[in-house]
Amino acid sequence: MGQCALTGKKVQFGHNVSHSKRRTKRTFMPNIQKVSLPSDVLGCDVSLQVSVRALRTVQKKGGLDAFLIKTADKDLAEEGLRLKRRVLKRLQK
């Protein structure tokens, strides 16, 4: 039961609704995977717990560095913001 390090996606709650409209509580679990993503700017692999949805977006945007730079700060989780600051700091040197 984790949280995506890049997007902040986490467990959501709702109801199972039967045919007779009886509601029972349930949880919607995000598909969180442990991955190691290469960062060209930092020069190392970064180990993260990432949702598969975020992983697809990282690949679409051209890698971890491009994803962090192109994504707005409000759309990143705390760990994603820390990584973005490290990447931007290294790019300014």
pTM: 0.85
Q: How many domains does the chain have?
A: 1
Instruction: List, for residues 33-86, the tens digit of each pLDDT value.
Output: 999 999 999 999 999 999 999 999 999 999 999 999 999 999 999 999 999 999
Residue 45 forms part of a structural domain: yes
Whether the per-residue pLDDT at 2 is higher than 90: the answer is no
Q: How far is residue 3's CA from residue 72's CA, in Å, rounded to a whole number? A: 19
**What local confidence, expressed as pLDDT, does residue 1 receive?**
64
For residue 40, is it left (φ>0), alpha (ψ between -120 and 50) or beta?
alpha
Q: How far is residue 25's CA from residue 12's CA, in Å, rounded to a whole number? A: 11
Residue 1 forms part of a structural domain: no
CATH code for the domain in which residue 36 is found: 2.30.170.40
CA pseudo-torsion sign 5, 36, 81, 51:
negative
Q: Which domain, by its residues, includes 45?
A: 12-92
Q: What is the CA radius of gyration of the chain?
A: 17
Q: Coil, strand, or helix at residue 71?
A: coil
